[in-house]
Amino acid sequence: MKYKEYKGLNYAEIADNVLDKWKKEEIFEKSISTREGKPAFTFYEGPPSANGTPGIHHVMARAVKDIFCRYKTLKGFQVKRKGGWDTHGLPVELQVEKELGITKEDIGKKISVEEYNEKCRETVMKFKDQWDDLTEKMGYWVDLDDPYVTFEKEYIETLWSILKELYDKGFLYKGYTIQPYSPAAGTGLSSHELNQPGTYRDVKDTTVTAQFKKKGSENEYFLAWTTTPWTLAANTALAIGEKITYIKVETFNAYTFDKSFVILAKDRLASYFNPKDTDAKIEDYNAGDKVIPYRIVEEFQGKDLVGQEYEQLLPYIAPDGPAFKVIPGDYVSTEDGTGIVHISPTFGADDYRVAKQAGIGAIMVKDADGKDAPIVDKRGRYVKEISDFAGIFVKNEYYADGEAPDKSLDVQIAIKLKEENKAFKVEKYEHSYPHCWRTDKPVLYYPLDSWFIKTTAVKDELVALNKTINWKPASTGTGRFGNWLENLVDWNLSRSRFWGTPLPIWVSEDKTEQKCIGSIEELRSEVSKSVEAGFMKSELSDDFDLHRPYVDDVVLVSDSGQQMLREKDLIDVWFDSGAMPYAQWHYPFENKEIFEANYPADFIAEGVDQTRGWFFTLHAISVMLNKKVAFKNVIANGLVLDKNGNKMSKRLGNAVNPFETLEKYGPDATRWYMISNANPWDNLKFNIEGVAEVQRRFFGTLHNTYSFFALYANLDSFDFSNSEIAINQRTESDRWILSKLNTLISKVDQAYEDYEPTKAARLIQDFTIDDLSNWYVRLNRKRFWRGEYNEDKKSAYQTLYTCLMTIAKLSSPVAPFYMDNLYADLNSVTGLEKYESIHLTDFPTSDSSMIDEDLEARMSLAQNISSLVHSLRKKHMIKVRQPLSKILLPVLNKSFKEHVTAVEELIKSEVNIKNIEFVDDDSVILVKNVKPNFRKLGQEYGPKMKAIAAKINQLTDEDIATLEIKNNLELTLDGDSVTLTLEDVEISYQDIPGWSVATEGKLTVALDITLDDDLRKEGIARDLVNRVQNLRKDMGLEVQDKINIRIERNDDLVNSALESNKEYICSETQALSLNILESVADGSELEMDEYKLKVKIEA
RNA sequence: GGGCUUAUAGCUCAGCUGGUUAGAGCGCUACACUGAUAAUGUAGAGGUCCGAGGUUCGAGUCCCCGUAAGCCCA
């Protein structure tokens, strides 16, 4: 049996073959079944929506997921991963609307809800095939055969059971929220409707800076600006920025000329007062003067204003709670207005939020049904309680053509405020304001009924439990997510749409009775009661669809015998996905054991954009139901941008097609690039050239190393059948690479354990390229291709085999196809392992007894010395092929000599020198250089350090000698004396006069560049070997083919070089004979540096 | 407007608890090496470490204020 040798290499083809094998041999299934009975590692799949095509960013997100599931499998866990599909919600509905060319209003009219939802059900799985294809091709292992689907009856039933549990716990309530509302159309507008082009238009409104009189003061006012004066009657608070600086200004009212003190943000002073007026004297002011003087009399921070009270501006209606206080508002700025914001909780979402946080009530009236209502009715008119303006539309645009009054409500209010000394400034102001896209009339922000989940009730638990979650990166957990939890508001669950999970709440006609249904069984029995009561004609059918419109037709009967209708709302789709830990198993109706064994999740990963989406809903539902986290570790990955850092979009044409990339570069290089290039949580600038580079550099090098191994292992029939050679029998370099390898294992293991895949990939890559390929293999080449199949050679094979095998295993989570292939290539010959796939093996364990830090230090020394010698050779244009007699190394310390001696042979062969000589410390020929040890001196002397450092740089050779011998030296500076010890300085050897010297850090190397005839001859011989090897290659000879060499006589030096190195030349070139002849007529002319040789080679 | 992230060579990224000459790979230039060869080595060019201020003997690193880009939310 031979190791497979590759001619060309097609990574995509390898992946295809491996994929076939996985399918045929059911490797994925086995990776789970062979771990039966082992501890579970639970992963939750965040369900994608298949109504769009997958992009390259999905490859990234899923690679991250896949890596840790594969890693944990190798670590002996059983990792079940159920796939899933997110199927409800607005994106699907919008797509269907677009495809059908209809709008929301047409649903139920032009098309029945039934047909519409049927269309949604089809559309949502439109690209499932492409998704499945991508999943397979990129090597993402997830169970696609039995996924959870959020529109399925069982899934919805679990959702209902959860909703009921929340309902029973009192977490579900109906309240209102401020939403964009079109009085003209009589409907709320969704955020996407507001995002349509043309919605925002510039309009000119009458704006008022109102004076809110500070409670208990004579004439002191808070100034607040509004572009919607009609909301002033609903004012219940003033918001300030806690970090903003405010001032109190003494001045006069421009309309009443009354003296007043007004409070506003310091930064806004210039907008309200003309700096030219600053010279005017308050005392000189007369009512009616054009120039109004002002004077700053006090300054304070916003936080000092919090809690101060003021008098109601327009006292038509009493507030329904505490009101008329200064409260903090996180969104208050000094961009415009006064830096004090008027708050009307019924007409602004921010207003509502900050008022609620501060415990401030609203101005409400009772409507016809006796329910709380705002001071503007649903058609946009002031209610009757606003006696002066009852029935007036708040915007002139709401009147029918020609009926609008000359003075809009805003103007009328402005006049009233001016007259009552409540307006500081009234002016027209142009700004952009949203309009209803159907009626073209301005939108109001208006309180509308919604169902809420009272997440604020469990805020403390949400915050506390979040701190137990391991977030990658941590800042997303503490910052983005943590801060947000701190400012949590209740979860608005209602959606007025058609395709989604219906809210299972039925309400009686008089609104006093409610039922929340928690299962199909319960619904069935309630329907039975309803049939009995005569509200329903028939029992619930077995194949009843829980979606609209069917569920809307279900009429129930209340305990007191009233008819009950379902609340029309659907629930937020994020509830669907957030409930997947339970609903994917149809818990609690089925699979109790499976659920319990797989909750909470050990690991989840999604894009950072899911922070307030899936991450939150998972967390919230879990905490509310079980007071537990839903996941213990989470990676929030960043975006995939194009190579210039722009967002990818199909419209701009810069989106990368994942299928083309996988096709061209194969999944392994694609995944490796994505993981190794940047941390998953940083945005990835996807550059296809980077994938090519990874392929060339990492996979190319690894493959070359394998090919090298395979070539010679095949020649020697190495199959690892001999027992493993003891570590102490192996060479220095074998032990070195194995030491490095075991260090690598533990570091990579730790990196995966810490959810740091980038770190893991980079460690593996550096080891493979630098340590294994560029050092170990390069240095040990000859052991593989020269000499008999002895213990040393076996040791080399075994060492390299172990390295390759270990790299394959360590890398397999990231590059699952290629590494499985490599595993098979290696293992099929040796048969050391019984597994069918690398993904069924165990993760390598680091053997700390193999780690020899001393050895690693020695080798590092050898590398540095070699590098310095190379640079010296370069400097003098002496090629490595030309042997040189010796190098000199100044001895740095005791262990230095031992270390170098241990790796002496390596250095000598690497840089082609005959001897290494050491120069002792006290030798006179060394020129010493001394540098301050800043770290030590800084700690010791602090501020004096600079002066001391300057002194040290001026030390003479005698001073250094004194310091070295006595280990102390007195320095005087500014009268003080300081005693230096050897620890305070770093001594290095700068130069050796008469030698060619190179220095790096403390290490210094001197190279003897004199050549004698013997060295020259050897150089010539080596040159010849090189040329002959090239000729052999040109002739297409195999490594083991024998040749005969004839050479035409040349000058004496050359002839004698050939004669004296004949044996060497022959063994290197597999030559049976080397003959120097007077003439070789048919020979080829070989150009050497100083000679030309005529040579003929015969096989 | 708020929260969070990022900013270091032409490009992609390292840079640990502050230590004085800021690194790697790719790319570019030159030279060398070559039984792994679509590799490899050495050297060179290339940096106001986004900007301003502060702390410190010393700041890419710590603090503060900005700028730009991105994401989420208003």
What does the pLDDT look like over A582-620, one tens digit per residue?
Answer: 999 999 999 999 999 999 999 999 988 777 789 999 999
CA of A940 to C1' of B54 (A): 25
Contacts within 8 Å (CB) and 24+ apart, A804-808? A804/A702, A804/A705, A804/A706, A804/A709, A806/A741, A806/A744, A806/A745, A806/A844, A807/A702, A807/A764, A807/A767, A807/A768, A807/A772, A808/A838
Q: Is the CB of A942 under 7 A from strand B?
A: yes
Q: Is the CB of A654 under 7 A from strand B?
A: no
- Look at residue A194 and tell me whether its pLDDT is greater than 70: no
User: Shortest CA distance to A980 belongs to which of A946, A942, A936, A943?
Assistant: A936
Catalytic residue list of A:
47, 86, 574, 610, 614, 647, 650
With cut-offs at 50, 70 and 90, classify the pLDDT of residue A752: very high
Percent of chain A with pLDDT over 70: 95
With cut-offs at 50, 70 and 90, classify the pLDDT of residue A277: low
CA of A918 to C1' of B6 (A): 51
Specify the nucleotide whose C1' lies closest to residue A475 (CA).
B4
d(CA A543, CA A536): 17
CA of A493 to C1' of B51 (A): 46
- Look at residue A876 and tell me whether its pLDDT is greater than 90: no
Task: Give whole-number Cα distances, A426 to A288, A391, A418, in Å.
Answer: 17, 24, 8
CA of A950 to C1' of B13 (A): 37
Q: Give pLDDT, residue A925.
A: 63
Task: Give whole-number Cα distances, A93 to A99, A101, A174, A196, A781, in Å.
Answer: 10, 12, 25, 16, 65
Q: Is the CB of A6 under 7 A from strand B?
A: no
- Look at residue A196 and tell me whether its pLDDT is greater than 60: no
Higher pLDDT: A385 or A994? It is A385
What average pLDDT score do residues A722-735 get?
Answer: 88
What average pLDDT score do residues A934-954 get?
Answer: 76
Q: Which nucleotides of B are covered by protein (CB under 7 A)?
A: 1-6, 11-14, 19-20, 25-26, 31-43, 56-58, 69-74
CA of A265 to C1' of B51 (A): 28
Cα A134 off chain centre by: 21
CA of A480 to C1' of B2 (A): 11
d(CA A693, CA A700): 9
Token pair belonging to A16: 């295809």
What average pLDDT score do residues A859-866 get?
Answer: 82
With cut-offs at 50, 70 and 90, classify the pLDDT of residue A683: confident
- Look at residue A250 and tell me whether its pLDDT is greater than 60: yes
d(CA A648, CA A645): 9
ipTM metric: 0.89
Q: Give pLDDT, residue A348.
A: 84
Q: Is the CB of A1069 under 7 A from strand B?
A: yes
For residue A799, the SS3 value is helix
Q: Give pLDDT, residue A856.
A: 84
Q: Give pLDDT, residue A531.
A: 94
Q: Which residues from 166-195 of A have any strand B atom under 7 Å from their CB?
A: 191
Q: Give pLDDT, residue A1063.
A: 81
Q: Give pLDDT, residue A924.
A: 57
Mean pLDDT of chain A: 86
Q: Which residues from 551-590 of A have any strand B atom under 7 Å from their CB?
A: none
Specify the nucleotide whose C1' lies closest to residue A1026 (CA).
B34
- Look at residue A202 and tell me whether its pLDDT is greater than 80: no
Q: Is the CB of A1041 under 7 A from strand B?
A: yes
Query: CA angle, corner A206, sides to A205 and A210, nearest 5?
Result: 135
Q: Give pLDDT, residue A94.
A: 82
- Computed from CA positions of residues A81, A87, A88, A93, in that sequence, does the dihedral angle turn out positive or negative? positive
CA of A675 to C1' of B10 (A): 24
Q: Give pLDDT, residue A107.
A: 87
Q: Give pLDDT, residue A5.
A: 87
Count CA atoms within 13 Å of residue A208 on its CB side: 25
Task: Tell me the pLDDT tens digit for each residue of A1009-1030.
Answer: 777 888 888 888 888 887 787 7
Q: Give pLDDT, residue A86.
A: 92
With cut-offs at 50, 70 and 90, classify the pLDDT of residue A921: low
Peptide bond into A816 cis (omega under 30): no
Higher pLDDT: A785 or A658? It is A658
- Look at residue A200 and tell me whether its pLDDT is greater than 80: no
Specify the nucleotide whose C1' lies closest to residue A350 (CA).
B74
Beta-sheet strands, E only, within A456-562 = 470-472, 491-492, 494-495, 505-508, 514-516, 556-557
CA of A795 to C1' of B42 (A): 32
- Look at residue A922 and tell me whether its pLDDT is greater than 70: no
Higher pLDDT: A81 or A304? It is A81
Q: A896-906 burial by CB neighbour count: b if 16+ within 10 A, else e?
A: beebbebbeeb
d(CA A154, CA A412): 59
Higher pLDDT: A377 or A1090? It is A377
Task: Tell me the pLDDT tens digit for each residue of A546-577.
Answer: 999 999 999 999 999 999 999 988 898 889 99
Specify the nucleotide whose C1' lies closest to residue A492 (CA).
B73
Q: What is the DSSP letter of A646?
A: P
> What is the DSSP annotation of A31-69?
HHHTTTTSPB--B-PPPP-TTS---HHHHHHHHHHHHHH
| pTM of the predicted structure, to 2 decimals | 0.83
With cut-offs at 50, 70 and 90, classify the pLDDT of residue A198: low
Q: Is the CB of A703 under 7 A from strand B?
A: no
Peptide bond into A549 cis (omega under 30): yes
User: Shortest CA distance to A549 belongs to which of A105, A108, A150?
Assistant: A108
User: Shortest CA distance to A269 belongs to which of A245, A239, A241?
Assistant: A245
Q: Which residues from 710-749 of A have any strand B atom under 7 Å from their CB?
A: 711
What average pLDDT score do residues A529-556 get?
Answer: 93
Run of H or E including A378: none
Please tell me which of A179-183, A287-291, A641-645, A650-654 the model is most confident about, judged by mean pLDDT.
A179-183
- Look at residue A961 and tell me whether its pLDDT is greater than 90: no
For residue A920, the SS3 value is coil
> What is the DSSP annotation of A146-187?
EEEETTSHHHHHHHHHHHHHHHHTT-EEEEEEEEEEETTTTE
Higher pLDDT: A1065 or A129? It is A129
Token pair belonging to A426: 């009234």
Q: Give pLDDT, residue A153.
A: 95
Specify the nucleotide whose C1' lies closest to residue A445 (CA).
B74
Please tell me which of A157-171, A192-206, A929-943, A1057-1071 the model is most confident about, judged by mean pLDDT.
A157-171
Find tokens 């035409």 and name the residue: A1048
Query: Would you mind telling me the total number of residues written for chain A in this entry?
Result: 1099
Q: Is the CB of A334 under 7 A from strand B?
A: no
Least confident of A124-138, A530-544, A834-848, A911-925: A911-925
Least confident of A191-200, A276-285, A323-332: A191-200
Percent of chain A with pLDDT over 90: 35
Q: Is the CB of A812 under 7 A from strand B?
A: no
Q: Is the CB of A697 under 7 A from strand B?
A: yes
